[in-house]
Structure 1
């Protein structure tokens, strides 16, 4: 059994949306495939939207600059949710890879999965309020990108001849 299949099976055990996404048929070569209505991807969009709203609120009210903010329960819960989203993005990447989807989405989801922990660390380690504001802005953009890459209708590959 390949490592990818073994990992996919392990990941499917924890989330029914992952199992449903993995059960989808392989992609038709060259045809643009929208996953925006599949439960796993709807979940990613919902979670990303919610986390972005939290980050935007912190930006607006300066909450992240308060003493002890990163040791508090609100940030701990946020970080847990963000890490879970990162894991789900990687699951989505692996599922698209197993389906044979050879589009940008699978690569973007992997990149977002890898970037979420880095953006969290940047927010946590920012030395000044100005640096933290930049880090929060970058985290907000990343969470927004997570939504947009899933909800934007896929475009046909210009070389495939498959109409959109």
Structure 2
């Protein structure tokens, strides 16, 4: 399966997950999420998600700093993809990070081209979902079907 297909499937699956669902037993994050490089990606995505949510509430514009920070996050996601690919580890995560890196600039372009309030709101909602996926794919432990033991990434 191509990286694009895996990324699209994972993003749809994550977007469809119930918002308030909590696991029965607390599972530690995978080892990858504890690495400073990946923790930095999570922190940046959380910050950008909060800023995008604030823009959606206030209808404020995306300033130059937001655009730059989003582009920087996309670059870090691509670097994360390349690091994981070089390690030969979890192929799904590798592909999903590549997909996110490629989709972030597309979502920014959609926001910039939004012609009216409804289109802008849709663009921001999609960007927020993508940023949330960026966080969750790194901090969520591998599932039983991923053939990886939790923490063994």
**Gaps spanning 5+ residues in structure 2: where?**
1-29
RMSD of aligned Cα (Å):
1.6
Question: C-alpha distance in 2, partners of 1:37/1:136?
Answer: 29
Question: C-alpha distance in 2, partners of 1:163/1:77?
Answer: 39
Question: C-alpha distance in 1, partners of 2:149/2:135?
Answer: 24
DSSP 3-state at the match of 1:81: helix
- Equivalenced residues, count: 121
* 1:34/1:155 CA distance change after superposition, 3 Å: farther
Match of 2:136 among 126, 136, 148: 148
* 1:59/1:163 CA distance change after superposition, 3 Å: closer
1:13-55 CA-to-partner distances (Å, cap 9, x unmatched) read xxxxxxxxxxxxxxxxxxxx63010001100000000000000
- CA positional deviation for 1:138: 0.3
Match of 2:34 among 31, 34, 37: 37
* 1:61/1:35 CA distance change after superposition, 3 Å: same
Question: So what's the TM-score if we normalise by structure 1?
Answer: 0.69
**Gaps spanning 5+ residues in structure 1: where?**
1-32, 65-69
| Relative contact order, higher structure (CA 8 A, sep 6+) | 2
Question: C-alpha distance in 2, partners of 1:136/1:102?
Answer: 30
- The runs of at least 4 aligned residues of structure 1 exceeding 3 Å deviation read none
Question: C-alpha distance in 2, partners of 1:105/1:91?
Answer: 13
Question: C-alpha distance in 1, partners of 2:90/2:136?
Answer: 18
1:53-106 CA-to-partner distances (Å, cap 9, x unmatched) read 000001011113xxxxx5xxxx10110010000000000000000001142100
DSSP 3-state at the match of 1:154: coil
**Largest Rg, 1 or 2:** 1
Question: C-alpha distance in 2, partners of 1:81/1:117?
Answer: 11
Q: What is residue 113 of structure 1 aligned with on the other side?
A: 101
